Amino acid sequence: MPGSYIPSEYLPVFITLVLGTCFAVGALVLGELLRPRRPYAEKLSIYESGNIPVGEPRTRFDVRFYVIGMLFVVFDVEAVFLYPWAVAFGNIGLLGFWSMIFFLAIILVGYLYDWKKGALE
Amino acid sequence: MELLVTIAKTVLYVAAVFGVTLLHVAYATYFERKVIGRMQGRIGPVEVGFRGLLQPFADMVKSLFKEDIIPAAADRTLFFLAPVIVVASVMTSLAVIPFFNNGAIANLNVGVLFIFAMASLAVYGIIVAGWSSNSKYSFFGSIRSAAQVISYEIAMGISLAGVFLMAGSVNLNDIVLAQREQPLGMFAVLQIVGFVVFVISAFAETNRTPFDLPEAETELVAGYLTEYSGFRYALFFLAEYISMYIMAALIALCYLGGWALPGFVTRALPFLEQVPGIIWFLIKVYAFMFFYFWVRATLPRYRFDQLMAIGWKILIPVSVVNIVITAFVKRWLM
């Protein structure tokens, strides 16, 4: 019945998630009770090969990492489209088959463009 | 009431799976040190217990009692949260792995997708760890690590689509059953290209040598782990080993026939059907774990630009071509 669907298959997944989180938090709390704690300023400073840290650590980083991030979204969507197509392969006939080949061809054009523009460097 | 019983049963099963997995992880570290020791002409740990068998527990106790330093400049909440995110997401992906026939905690029909989703969540943990540490090494380590993991996830996902085409399902249980009548009882024969791409990506996804750049100690100290110490560090370490097991399990299930025996073997030797499937599964998983260690003892590390080039310029095109060829063959020749 629509509207009253309970995803019961996912209940075990939820339980696993809860227990996994409990394990991680529990281990940290247990460690908290057991371990010594003797901080002083030098110990608490961040590591920079023994020197006094210079400048702001959250510096600018290369813009190419953003490009990689954007390309990831495009190609991951491609992979996600491939999955249902692969599963339903026997039932979708020639039209379904060629649609995906056509889709891959479109992606290929974009991919070659990215490569030529140097986005993959 | 019935729901409560189901929940209680699931909780027990999950706890058992976690316990067994943690034991396996503990001994994977021992196994790794022994294997690499032998390969380098050493004997590995021998002092703690008989032949060093208690070494993993000694390490665990040590990391529990170590002082845990939180840098004064760090964001304390996020610093605490990062290892929890990583460990929880990695452990949750254990839920969909069938250790034997219908042996998964949750037999989802999108099993593999779920594992990918959880692997992507773990990336958040890495980014949060690098950001909250407020250290240059951690920050660059985490950015590199995230770029690496997302790049190889694509090649990995596309190469697996070949397996889905062959099996007609994304459910891990069905994929194993579909392999029984394949040559040698595994997809690794006909999907050899996808298999090789997947194996290379698995090394990159789990940050193992030759792709262990996020932890490249010669350039980035310990990458996103630089500021972590004590048990928080141990949790990241634990998550890395669990994800190695998960990748090994995925390879065993999707390419090596999982817990099932090939059809021709069970027909020739029917008594082998009596052996629990988990034994075959574990043999395959440990064969791959050994391969992880073997590669680590053999290969040097790649440079970061080489790593990205392999992922984007070789593995992705190769896996797409593999899909197209598989589809053509399946449409017209099978």
What pLDDT digit, counting tens, does each position of B79-135 carry?
888 888 888 888 888 888 888 877 778 877 777 888 888 888 888 888 888 777 777
Q: Searching chain A, which residue's CA lies closest to the CA of residue B112?
A: A83
Q: What is the mean pLDDT of residues A87-108?
A: 84
Q: Which residue has the higher pLDDT, A86 or B103?
A: A86
- Ramachandran sector of residue A117 (left: φ over 0; alpha: ψ -120 to 50; beta: rest): alpha
Q: What distance in Å separates the CA atoms of residue B179 and residue B185, rounded to the nearest whole number?
A: 5
Optimal mutation site among A8, A14, A19, interface B, most CBs of chain B within 10 A: A19
Mean pLDDT of A44-72: 70
| pLDDT at B17 > cutoff 80 | yes
Residue A118's region, left for phi above 0, alpha for psi from -120 to 50, else beta, is left
- Portion of chain A with pLDDT greater than 70, in percent: 74
Mean pLDDT of the region B229-254: 85
Neighbours of B275 (CB within 10 A): 11
Q: Which residues of B touch A66 (CB under 8 A)?
A: none
Q: B45: Cβ–Cβ under 8 A, 6 or more apart, which residues?
A: B30, B33, B34, B37, B52, B55
Closest CA to A102 of B311, B327, B166: B327
Rounded-to-integer distance, Cα A29 and Cα B120, Å: 26
A66 touches chain B (CB under 8 A): no
| Class of domain A8-117 (CATH, top level) | mainly alpha
Higher pLDDT, B23 or B333: B23
In angstroms, the Cα distances linking A10 to B8, B203, B217, B302 are 15, 29, 40, 40
C-alpha count within 13 angstroms, C-beta hemisphere, residue B44: 18
Q: Which residues contact B212 (CB under 8 A, 6 or more apart)?
A: B301
Tokens matching residue A103: 């889709």
pTM, two decimals, is 0.87
Query: Quick check: A54 pLDDT over 70?
Result: no
Residues in chain A closer than 8 A to B307 (CB atoms): none
Tell me if chain A has a CB within 8 Å of the CB of B7: yes
Is any Cβ of chain A less than 8 angstroms from the Cβ of B315? Answer: no
Between the alpha carbon of residue B130 and those of residues A58, B121, B153, B202, B209, the distances in Å are 10, 15, 20, 22, 21
Residue type (1 letter), B96 = V
Asked if B90 and B149 touch (Cβ cutoff 8 Å), the reply is no
Measure the CA–CA gap between B201 and B153, rounded to whole angstroms. Answer: 7
Whole-number pLDDT of residue B9: 85
In angstroms, the separation between the Cα of residue A116 and the nearest Cα of chain B is 12
Spatial separation of the C-alpha atoms in residues B188 and B105, rounded to whole Å: 26
Average pLDDT, rounded, for chain B: 82
Q: What is the mean pLDDT of residues B221-248?
A: 80
CB-based contact B136 A61, cutoff 8 Å: no
Give chain B positions within 8 Å (CB) of A121: 305, 308-309
Of A23, A27, A34, the CB nearest to B65: A34
pLDDT-derived band at A44 (thresholds 50, 70, 90) equals low
Q: If you measure CA to CA, which chain A residue comes closest to B153?
A: A76
Query: Residue B141: what pLDDT?
Result: 77
For residue A61, give the chain B residue with the closest CA.
Answer: B140
B105–A16 C-beta distance less than 8 A: yes
Sequence-separated (6 or more) residues with CB below 8 Å from residue B127: B142, B143, B146
Q: Which of A75, A80, A95, A97 to mutate to test the interface with B (most CBs of B within 10 A)?
A: A75
Q: Name which residue leads in pLDDT, B47 or A59.
A: B47
Place of tokens 């310029």: B313
Query: What distance in Å separates the CA atoms of residue B47 and residue B237, rounded to the nearest whole number?
Result: 22
Parse chain B into domains and list their residue ranges: 1-65, 71-332
Q: Is the pLDDT higher at B159 or at A92?
A: B159
Task: Please state the ipTM of this predicted complex.
Answer: 0.80
Q: What is the mean pLDDT of residues B161-182?
A: 84
Q: From CA B67, how far away is CA B36, in angstroms rounded?
A: 29
Under a CB-based contact definition with an 8 Å cutoff, are residues A29 and B64 in contact? no
Measured between beta carbons, the chain B residues lying within 8 angstroms of A101 are: 324, 327
Q: How far, in Å, CA of B129 to CA of A11, rounded?
A: 29
Residues in chain A within 8 Å Cβ distance of B73: 45-46, 57
Nearest CA in chain B to A52: B135
Residue B292 token pair: 């992880």
Q: How far apart are CA B20 and CA B43, in angstroms?
A: 27
Q: Are B126 and B224 in contact (CB under 8 A)?
A: yes
Q: Looking at the complex, does the CB of residue A7 fall below 8 Å from at least one CB of chain B?
A: no
Kindly determine whether residue B235 and residue A27, on different chains, have CB atoms separated by under 8 Å: yes
Question: Taking residues B40-54, what's their average pLDDT?
Answer: 82
Q: Please count the residue pairs, one from chain A and one from chain B, whose beta carbons lie less than 8 angstroms apart.
A: 206
Rounded mean pLDDT, B267-277: 78
- Which tokens in the block code for residue B197? 């791409």
* Average pLDDT for B258-278: 79
HEC secondary structure over chain A? CCCCCCCHHHHHHHHHHHHHHHHHHHHHHHHHHHCCCCCCHHHHCCCCCCCCCCCCCCCCCCCHHHHHHHHHHHHHHHHHHHHHHHHCHHHCHHHHHHHHHHHHHHHHHHHHHHHHHCCCC
Residue A1 pLDDT grade (very low, low, confident, very high; cuts 50, 70, 90) = very low
pLDDT value of position B124: 86
Q: Directed axis angle between helix B230-254 and helix B111-133, to 10°?
A: 160
Separation between Cα atoms, residue A46 and residue B255, nearest integer Å: 45
CB contact under 8 A, B106 and A13: yes
Give percent above pLDDT 70 in chain B.
95
Closest Cα to residue B327, out of B122, B161, B154?
B161
